[in-house]
């Protein structure tokens, strides 16, 4: 069994959420089933959450931030707002976790890599099979670290999903192996905190140990080369004073998608990491028409 562990890395999870306005509705009671699987020699945990009586046959796959877990969805401060908008059209939500820190890196020289193959070939099919229905639409949502992971799935397996949400995604515009001068210029340009940036680079370097590995994952570069008009719609939102500076990469990603003709929405909101437009996300996932 492979255990994914990285020490001394700052949490890239959800620490702040920009809601616009809070709903006064209370969080509904969800039917929740959680468990742990050991498929292909790699252990992962999951939860499947459904609103009793929902009319939806869709499902959301939610990828958590660093330091989170398969329980992050139902424990998140944005869940009440999302469900108040969704109402009885609420889709099922699938969460998965390989631990507190994991990136969907395709197999490379790092012993931590290979989760992309495991996720797409083993974990995702197994999780979909646990649903009581075959999803009419599978919607992908990732927050922070999970937003980076969602970008990898969007770029490399767009056929799997009908819509994609990148919420405060951990997207950088340079290699984890970048020289100090380039990192310093990024910090000066974005107003990011160098301490946080260095911790993020430590995480990326653990999964992408060289420039060849990173070139196969760099979200902005790949979006510029790989996205076509046939890619599913994507919604990207980030805070304007993210201490990691992720808003620069998030916007560049959204712009690259739009430039290549795919549907792309970008929403910058006031706030630090991990701020994003929750109301916009809720409407994007489940449009008011229910279509």
Listed in order, strand segments (DSSP E) in 91-233 are: 92-97, 138-143, 163-167
> Is position 18 within any domain?
no
pLDDT score recorded for residue 78? 85
> Is position 72 within any domain?
yes
pLDDT score recorded for residue 224? 98
Which residues span the domain enclosing 278? 31-285
pLDDT score recorded for residue 258? 98
Write out the chain's pLDDT in tens, 291 residues: 344 444 444 445 544 444 443 344 578 889 999 999 998 899 999 999 999 999 999 999 999 999 999 999 988 888 888 999 999 999 999 999 999 999 999 999 999 999 999 999 999 999 999 999 999 999 999 999 999 999 999 999 999 999 999 999 999 999 999 999 999 999 999 999 999 999 999 999 999 999 999 999 999 999 999 999 999 999 999 999 999 999 999 999 999 999 999 999 999 999 999 999 999 999 999 976 544
The pTM assigned to this predicted structure is: 0.92
Count of residues for the chain? Answer: 291
CATH of residue 179's domain is 3.40.50.1820
> Is position 106 within any domain?
yes
pLDDT score recorded for residue 255? 98
Number of domain units in the chain: 1
Listed in order, strand segments (DSSP E) in the chain are: 31-39, 42-50, 59-63, 92-97, 138-143, 163-167, 234-239, 264-269
pLDDT score recorded for residue 8? 40
> Is position 24 within any domain?
no
Backbone angles phi, psi at 47, to 5 degrees: -140, 145
- Separation of alpha carbons 8 and 82, rounded Å: 33
> Is position 266 within any domain?
yes
Return the structure tokens found at 24: 């006064």
Phi-psi region of 239 (alpha: psi -120 to 50; beta: other; left: phi over 0): beta
Q: Residues with Cβ < 8 Å from 234, sequence gap 6 or more? A: 154, 163, 164, 165, 166, 254, 257, 262, 263, 264, 265
């Amino acid at each position: 069994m492979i255990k994914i562990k990285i020490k001394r890395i700052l949490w890239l999870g959800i620490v702040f959420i920009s809601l616009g306005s809070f709903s006064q509705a209370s969080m509904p009671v969800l039917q929740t089933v959680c468990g742990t699987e050991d498929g292909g020699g790699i252990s992962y945990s999951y939860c499947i959450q459904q609103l009793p009586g929902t009319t939806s046959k869709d499902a959301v796959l939610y990828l958590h931030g660093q330091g989170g877990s398969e329980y992050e969805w139902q424990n998140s401060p944005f869940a009440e707002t999302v469900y108040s908008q969704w109402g009885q059209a609420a889709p099922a939500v699938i969460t998965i976790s390989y631990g507190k820190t994991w990136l969907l890196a395709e197999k490379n020289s790092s012993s931590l890599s290979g989760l992309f193959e495991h996720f797409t070939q083993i974990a995702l099919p197994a999780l979909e099979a646990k649903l009581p229905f075959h999803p009419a639409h599978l919607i992908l949502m990732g927050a922070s670290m999970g937003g980076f992971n969602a970008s990898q799935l969007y770029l490399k397996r767009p056929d799997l999903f009908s819509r994609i949400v990148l919420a405060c995604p951990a997207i950088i515009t340079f290699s984890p192996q970048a020289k100090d001068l380039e990192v310093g210029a990024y910090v000066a340009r974005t107003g990011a905190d160098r301490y946080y940036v260095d911790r993020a680079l430590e995480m990326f370097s653990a999964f992408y140990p060289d420039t060849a590995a990173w070139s196969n994952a760099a979200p902005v570069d790949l979006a510029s080369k790989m996205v076509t008009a046939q890619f599913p719609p994507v919604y990207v939102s980030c805070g304007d004073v993210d201490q990691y500076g992720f808003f620069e990469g998030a916007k560049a990603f959204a712009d690259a998608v739009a430039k290549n003709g795919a549907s792309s929405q970008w929403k910058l909101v006031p706030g630090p990491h991990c701020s994003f437009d929750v109301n916009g996300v809720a409407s994007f996932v489940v449009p008011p028409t229910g279509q």
